[in-house]
Structure 1
């Protein structure tokens, strides 16, 4: 074991560290939630990761997204996060995909085989596609619901999607997955905290977006850390 994981080994033990080092995790979406999930999974000692995002960093990301700095403005999120992860663990077997993945491309990536899949996509159709095809391949998957418009970290829940409640995205996702024959077996991180109507504005001309929701600095990272806890605890 390398020295940088010594404190983790004190908690988990040598056998579980070895298990993490032999694990392969896919993280799709590197925004406010996904980037924190990816970094915490890396810091826990997972040995192989694939990270995916086609978006560029802009100044509006800086209030909540891990890779967003003045110095990284305009750079690809996937590339910046790849640099961070390798700076944490230079021995990480890392694949960086700077792209929006859909349909056949997503299937191609999933067919590479993973020990865990993290869905941190904020667009509904590719989110459903990723979850569906992960379940079809018996790949464990944890999905992030909406962190926008919320500010009470004590209300964050981890459950099976069938047990989620008072979350608009989870409700829509449940209905769509039901039509595909999936009623349970997908873990989600969600919050039942109501979203104030005044925190939502309509937008035009943004890729895959009809509205923007107000966000606070600490809520997406808390979701991301909860997701990482699911992955690491299940893998060990």
Structure 2
């Protein structure tokens, strides 16, 4: 089966990666591509239409899945349009407010919605083990450092927040134990979880968890060498989601196999 993709933000970093990924696969094709900013008519031979036309294009082209890596405000609009058209949606956008997340969840009552902060299989593996590492080392200090390119807007990254939730669940604490950076006289308190966001150059993405104590340390690191890894995962997610019933999903559901 070939999954037919509707790609939003087609001229952005991830939009271009998604178009390139689909072009190299036998199980995916781009049904339509839209972009909010005018000026680019095509990407790698794929016509780019105005984002304002998304609703009519969804009705006309009948794609299998909308794939969105844009921004929180536009993402909510695009998923609402997908829900209206009855088209499943894969969302890789991060930085949502609670209200915006509620809007996405509301859409999942009408269509399948898969929301993930990261579509790298290695990150999912990290999420699967980080809680055990922290739980097995009670009393050890925990620090998280994430690094991204200088154009990334949200901090900490959505992936970092996912990792933090795993750590907090393992420790049985709330997010009020997070300490974002340190300045001046800032001694570490027992149970603090340090969080540090670096933004520089064109770094694709790196996350490292440091667990240290008792004269030893454990480091769990994931480094993405290319955005292509995220595009591949997102297309895998789209193919999987196209076969699901309405509801709310994450990338871990894809890797667990068919339901």
TM-score of the pair, normalised by structure 2: 0.46
Determine which structure has the larger strand proportion and give its number: 2
Q: By percentage of residues, which structure has more helix? A: 1
Higher alpha-carbon Rg: 2
TM-score, normalised by the number of residues in structure 1 = 0.49
